[in-house]
Structure 1
């Protein structure tokens, strides 16, 4: 009985020792989790931004210039039908059909106007012929009168001086009348020429407008200028072109569609103005795709916009950034979304600490070191940061123990 009691007591003591040791270990473990030992290692920081894939080179399909000719007075047209967005097309394949009813109506109106103008021209030519013929007959009769007066003047030498004077004046008056009629003839001739020329110009202009309407009817059916994948553009309000929608005929506007060449690929993305100073042309980028699981393609920044712009998806100014991919992939399609990880820092022998070890005061960065059970506030210079760690440029060395959440530690 005594032996059994002794065995129970020993077992109880051992159990207590184990519990106390486990509790002490847990305290020690909890205590150690509040420190981070600084070591050199691989450090990477990235700036992540969404982008849109496109071909480096794309053939635009603009609005045909003839449709935007102001002489036709057509400002917008309805889309009757269009090819499937993202479809591969060959040169000459159908892209979009625009409603030509306005064009047909305008051409009919102009054809009626041409008939009127041609009738006016015919009448102007007839009037000109009749009027000038009459004036020429009038000049011819005036010349006959002058001949008669000349004979009378020659016979007046046998008459009195007064009669001779009268005959001279009559002859001179007849000469002046012929000169006036000839001047009037030239003036009338020029006047009628101008009237006929203006009428001919109206006929010519009307004929040219009809020719433009005919060209516009043919241009209302738009085909692919090259082989490629058709990507339809957007109107001024940002909506993508679609069936039964309206499209502006302004030829200097955005293209109706583009045919990107996907042999060389870019990703268009936007970077907030607070981050734009962190990146530079030539920075490396890792590009992945939501639609292509496991596909990662390296690239680099090709260009950065010099001027910021407003964007509907951001609450601040953004800068457009073009990323050039090192290679293409058969699964890549125009307008596909991409995940762009711009590499800000990639060092093999870097010092870094957890972000929650850094204290910011008055624009400077500090950490608290644990030295011989004492806390020591230390100024540090930091670099880039990722989701967990921040790079230390100066102020720390390998082996230093930094306190995590030092403000909580104080409390």
Structure 2
């Protein structure tokens, strides 16, 4: 009896062992991952565009080099000396020294031309003096000749009529020559005056040229126009004007004296996200140098034309964000992290982006229906980096697959009614996701009170992508 009982336990133990062996051999090697579910959430949905920027003063005083150097065929000037960036200066303090070699050459040429003009003027004076002196001597001689002819006329009264007539003719000829010589002398005087005036005009022009060059040369030493902190000028390619670089004759700015009372964050948004950016939108601003400091701002300008930034293949658009707070610790060129609040929707249903699947340009979710799975068509709204608003198709109690089920064959599809789809298609054609965006008033800039709901966009909405 005991033997039979032990045999019974032996069979039972063997059966259990076989079950474990079968499970380890077949069950544990299954590669099918367990399904992960999520549920929709209802609440406030925000769409943001994240960018990095750089602090700049909204207003600043430019420290400029000499103006008008293009008149002397100088189009760029190297900087010989420049005080360090960040130096605090007072009005009239030295800032920079420019290279004078090219304009010194122009000065030498102008001085040579001035000396030549002075020589010409002096020579013209001597010539006119000599010519007029000879003309005056000729007038005196002609006056004597008239007087002699008059005496001959008086003495000829006792001569024959023919002699008297001949003497009279000589007297009249002498008078005509004297009269003509006097007219010619006046003409010669006027000619000499005109000639001297022309030469004198050229002389004064050369004198002014030399004077202008000297005045411009004095401005090659640059002084601070106001009190402030010197910040080097930044070129279009992002580089700064430093000692050894050149300034342009069209924009001779060497540095700037920023006004720290109002600061801007200059940032660049890619061409995908720029369609969602409007003036007046709020922004949350962080400082990389001071992570504990949080600031707020407002978009004040959005560029209409894109540009190619260095080391970047995509086009970006410049966006200016004015910082609301005045802080003495803010300095130009500080790096900022900007989160532009594109839109904010209250009490909406949203799900993770991973739950959305597109089939034939229609959007579906895999929904758990008891032990079964169905593909439910949905209508999408705004989306951000992680989630998307669901306008139609599911409820708060549904369970959704975060990934595609292992076997999708035979899963039924549930479509929305035709009239619902047509309604949303018409709304999508008419709606502009940012049409209600407007310039914010000071009260609306308060993040605790601002609520600016906007029209929800269709499935192609791309708001919320990060821009670097």
TM-score band (shorter)? 0.7 to 0.9
1:145 aligns with 2:145: yes
1:57 aligns with 2:59: yes
Deviates most, 398-407 or 300-309: 398-407
1:184 aligns with 2:184: yes
2: CA distance between counterparts of 1:76 and 1:219?
A: 15
Q: How does 1:205-284 map to 2 (within 5 A)?
A: 205-234=205-234, 239-248=239-248, 250=249, 252-253=250-251, 255-284=253-282
Name structure 2 gaps, 5 residues minimum: 410-468
Deviates most, 113-122 or 75-84: 113-122
Q: Is the 8 A contact 2:90 2:227 kept in 1?
A: yes
Q: Displacement of 1:301 after TM fit?
A: 0.3
1: CA distance between counterparts of 2:285 and 2:406?
A: 39
Q: Displacement of 1:259 after TM fit?
A: 1.0
SS of equivalent to 1:293: coil
Return closer, same or farther for 1:154/1:239 CA change in 2, 3 Å cut-off.
farther
Structure with higher RCO (Cα < 8 A, 6+ apart):
1
TM-superposition CA deviations, 1:187-241 (whole Å, max 9, x none): 3223322332233234323333333343334322211111222111246776422
Q: Displacement of 1:89 after TM fit?
A: 2.2
Q: Displacement of 1:329 after TM fit?
A: 2.8
TM-score, reference length from structure 1? 0.81
Q: Is the 8 A contact 2:44 2:346 kept in 1?
A: yes
Q: 2:39 aligns with which of 28, 37, 40?
A: 37
Q: Displacement of 1:356 after TM fit?
A: 1.6
Aligned length: 394
Q: Displacement of 1:354 after TM fit?
A: 1.0
1:381 aligns with 2:380: yes
Return closer, same or farther for 1:282/1:236 CA change in 2, 3 Å cut-off.
closer
Match of 2:307 in 1: 309
Q: Is the 8 A contact 2:46 2:343 kept in 1?
A: yes
Bigger share in strand: 1
Q: 1:322 aligns with which of 320, 323, 348?
A: 320
2: CA distance between counterparts of 1:60 and 1:304?
A: 24
Return closer, same or farther for 1:283/1:176 CA change in 2, 3 Å cut-off.
same
Q: How does 1:5-404 map to 2 (within 5 A)?
A: 30-31=34-35, 33=36, 35-65=37-67, 68=69, 70-71=71-72, 73-108=73-108, 110-111=110-111, 113-150=113-150, 152=152, 166-167=166-167, 169-234=169-234, 239-248=239-248, 250=249, 252-253=250-251, 255-361=253-359, 364-372=362-370, 373-386=372-385, 388-404=386-402
Measured on the aligned residues, the alpha-carbon RMSD in Å equals: 3.6
Q: Is the 8 A contact 1:54 1:265 kept in 2?
A: yes
1: CA distance between counterparts of 2:348 and 2:152?
A: 129
2: CA distance between counterparts of 1:403 and 1:264?
A: 50
Return closer, same or farther for 1:39/1:102 CA change in 2, 3 Å cut-off.
closer
2: CA distance between counterparts of 1:134 and 1:332?
A: 83
Q: Is the 8 A contact 1:235 1:254 kept in 2?
A: no
Bigger share in helix: 1
Q: Is the 8 A contact 1:234 1:254 kept in 2?
A: no
Return closer, same or farther for 1:43/1:174 CA change in 2, 3 Å cut-off.
same
TM-superposition CA deviations, 1:274-325 (whole Å, max 9, x none): 2211111111111112222222211110111223333334423322111001
SS of equivalent to 2:396: coil
Return closer, same or farther for 1:154/1:36 CA change in 2, 3 Å cut-off.
farther
Q: Is the 8 A contact 1:365 1:382 kept in 2?
A: no
2: CA distance between counterparts of 1:229 and 1:409?
A: 67
2: CA distance between counterparts of 1:171 and 1:38?
A: 132
Deviates most, 207-216 or 252-261: 207-216
Return closer, same or farther for 1:261/1:151 CA change in 2, 3 Å cut-off.
same
Q: Displacement of 1:157 after TM fit?
A: 7.1
Name structure 1 gaps, 5 residues minimum: none
2: CA distance between counterparts of 1:119 and 1:142?
A: 35
Q: Displacement of 1:350 after TM fit?
A: 2.2
Return closer, same or farther for 1:166/1:209 CA change in 2, 3 Å cut-off.
same
Q: Is the 8 A contact 1:233 1:254 kept in 2?
A: no
SS of equivalent to 1:360: strand
2: CA distance between counterparts of 1:78 and 1:300?
A: 39
Q: Is the 8 A contact 2:378 2:390 kept in 1?
A: no
Q: Displacement of 1:82 after TM fit?
A: 0.9
Q: Displacement of 1:113 after TM fit?
A: 4.7
